[in-house]
Amino acid sequence: MTETIGIILAKFGFMLFFVLNFGGLLTWVERKQSAVMQDRIGANRAAIFGIRAIGLFHAIADAVKMFTKESFTPKNAEKFLFTIAPGISVFFALIGFAVIPFGDKLVVGETVINLQVAPLNVGILYLFAVAGMAVYGVVLGAWASRNNYALLGGLRASAQMISYEVALGVTIFGSLMIYQTVDLQQIVHWQGNYFWGWIPAWGIFLQPLGFLLFLTVGIAETKRIPFDAPEGESEIIGYSIEYSGMGFGMYLLTDFVETVMIAAITVTLFFGGWQVPFLMADGFHFPWGTVVELSNLVVALLQVGAFTLKVMFFLWLQMAIRWSLPRFRYDQIMRLCWKYILPIALANIIITGIVILALK
């Protein structure tokens, strides 16, 4: 039996819930993780009825503040584009999650639910298309605010993001050559294989260089430190300078959602997506012969849980990178992309191709 519209909407709702919650919690994670790293305590004063919950309410307080603040539109701004640009930005950041598989198959009665919102067979290409559109929100917002500083920030953003999109595609060609597919669900299925019966065939073991390059490029795509030349909120003034209230909040949300996005794509391509080592469709099959049989529901829950845990690890890693490294200069960002990452990624493709041919 095929999926009804209700099931698709439920999956859509689950994914949106997942992403937006992570996006909101990241504001808390960012504050707390940086604080713990630097021997501080971090924001812990927001309280509801005296309960502080280690500062978790600060995310809610932020949201309330963003919504209730005045959303000011400059006199000479292009009103329509100025209003719509943050929406475009956050929209293209969110719809990318449609093709990320967060589990295998869940059987309810006679219905087989594919735990992926949109099972597209061109998954990766769709992701690239969406990532390519992300620059529009930034550039339109910068141009529409009729502020020279914002426009310069938008120019920096477009140059950086378009450059790194080229590298983004090239860095994962090596992986795609191994997987021989662009369907993300099939890519994850492929990673369910094992080398010599016990090492999971995750992309990180096959493409370690590709993983490093992809993570670097991915962080650059999110426009966060150490690649935050487009924003540079502390001193160089970026594209979002004229935005206040929820317009600014949506640009902020875009950054966090893109962080979750990069974590999800990294997990899907290089860390086996929802795969749990030795977990088959009917339970655990350990290499030493032990078999633990589990029902379909438990298996699905384990898979979703594994995917969530892996995403959380990469969110932690990206936050650690954000709070450990200083910003690149603008020319260094460009040089890193065109002179180092792109040639190395191309060399990676050639070497991968030679190895695949030799092993055939």
Applying the rule CB under 8 A, the residues between 212 and 231 that interact with another protein are 212
Nearer to another protein, 219 or 299 (CB): 219
Q: One symbol per residue from 39 to 58: x for binding another protein (CB under 8 A), - otherwise; what is it?
A: xxx-----------------
Among 33, 89, 147, 171, binds another protein (CB under 8 A): 33
Using CB under 8 A as the binding rule, whether residue 324 contacts another protein is answered as yes
Nearer to another protein, 199 or 325 (CB): 325
In whole angstroms, the minimum distance from the beta carbon of 303 to another protein comes to 27
Nearer to another protein, 320 or 351 (CB): 320
Which span sits near another protein by CB under 8 A: 2-10, 33-41, 114-122, 157-165?
33-41
Which span sits near another protein by CB under 8 A: 5-13, 17-25, 31-39, 294-302?
31-39
In whole angstroms, the minimum distance from the beta carbon of 212 to another protein comes to 7
In whole angstroms, the minimum distance from the beta carbon of 215 to another protein comes to 11
Binding residue count for another protein, defined by CB under 8 A: 14
Nearer to another protein, 16 or 36 (CB): 36
The three-state DSSP-derived secondary structure of the chain is CCCCHHHHHHHHHHHHHHHHHHHHHHHHHHHHHHHHHCCCCCCCCCCECCECHHHCHHHHHHHHHHHHCCCCCCCCCCHHHHHHHHHHHHHHHHHHHHHCCCCCEEEECCEEEECCCCCCCCHHHHHHHHHHHHHHHHHHHHHHCCCHHHHHHHHHHHHHHHHHHHHHHHHCHHHHHHHCCCCHHHHHHHCCCEECCCEECCHHHHCHHHHHHHHHHHHHHCCCCCCCCCCCCCCCCCCCCCCCHHHHHHHHHHHHHHHHHHHHHHHHHHCCCCCCCCEECCEEECCCCCEEECCHHHHHHHHHHHHHHHHHHHHHHHHHHHHHCCCCCHHHHHHHHHHHHHHHHHHHHHHHHHHHHHHC
Among 9, 53, 112, 325, binds another protein (CB under 8 A): 325
In whole angstroms, the minimum distance from the beta carbon of 323 to another protein comes to 7
Nearer to another protein, 11 or 31 (CB): 31
Using CB under 8 A as the binding rule, whether residue 35 contacts another protein is answered as yes
* Site of interaction with another protein (CB under 8 A): 33, 35-41, 212, 320-321, 323-325
